[in-house]
Chain A
Amino acid sequence: EVQLVESGGGLVQPGGSLRLSCAASGFTFSSYWMSWVRQAPGKGLEWVANIKQDGSEKYYVDSVKGRFTISRDNAKNSLYLQMNSLRAEDTAVYYCARGPYQLLVGYYFDYWGQGTLVTVSS
């Protein structure tokens, strides 16, 4: 059974840092792109970042470029999101998701964790 379990969320002051982790199990982690997707309270989903299987390619939404860093440790079956210079608008539930997986000219995220809440407030 595929499982994705996020951790590391919490309350942090504006300008602070936080590192999120996602522990993966039930599949060959090193074979998949992985992503972070967030959801601000009462709002919709927003793709944040993703990373290729070997970590050689990383992509970010414009609003977090230069502040967030996605990484992975395939030996530990773990995905990470280092978040620096946090702002109030970064407050959200952060989901770890497997994918994007490409099928012809479509992409999808097939498994999601339960999310971890990050609150940026003084």
Chain B
Amino acid sequence: SSELTQDPAVSVALGQTVRITCQGDSLRSYYASWYQQKPGQAPVLVIYGKNNRPSGIPDRFSGSSSGNTASLTITGAQAEDEADYYCNSRDSSGNLNWVFGGGTKLTVL
């Protein structure tokens, strides 16, 4: 089955821009979706498709993709953006399965 690889931790200064990446072979075939999870809470969808935000997600969140890498960019990070971020994609190995990345802990300094 496919795997998605994320950096375990990333930090950003308040108001600066940060990019969180996700690598995997399945990303050559499928767009990733991105989820934000704060401690003790359920995941929340923040980006899906080529670069789509659900209603209520601030426009400082954006997504992009190139080759086997998907990226989530936060432009002007806020304190409330401190959270774990997970990418997700369909498995490209032929199984109708879905796989999550290991998650990236974002710290806003």
Contacts and interface: CB of A to CB of B under 8 A. Distances in A.
Interface of A: 35, 37, 44-47, 50, 57, 59, 61-62, 95, 100, 103-115
B86 interface: yes
Given A59-B95, A112-B43, A107 B100 contact: no
Contacts of A103: 31, 48-49, 52
B88 A95 contact: no
Contact of A107 (B33, B101, B103): B33
A38 to B, nearest CB: 10
Contacts of B48: 103, 106, 108, 110
A26 B101 CA distance: 30
A118 to B, nearest CB: 16
Nearest to A60: B97
Given A62-B1, A100-B98, A106 B31 contact: yes
B44 A59 contact: no
A109 B45 contact: yes
B35 interface: yes
Contacts of A107: 30, 33, 88-90, 98
A110 B42 contact: no
B49 A100 contact: no
13 contacts: A44-B101, A45-B86, A45-B100, A47-B100, A50-B98, A57-B96, A62-B1, A106-B30, A108-B33, A108-B45, A111-B45, A112-B43, A113-B42
* Interface pairs A-B: 5 shortest CB-CB: A106-B31, A108-B33, A108-B48, A47-B98, A112-B42
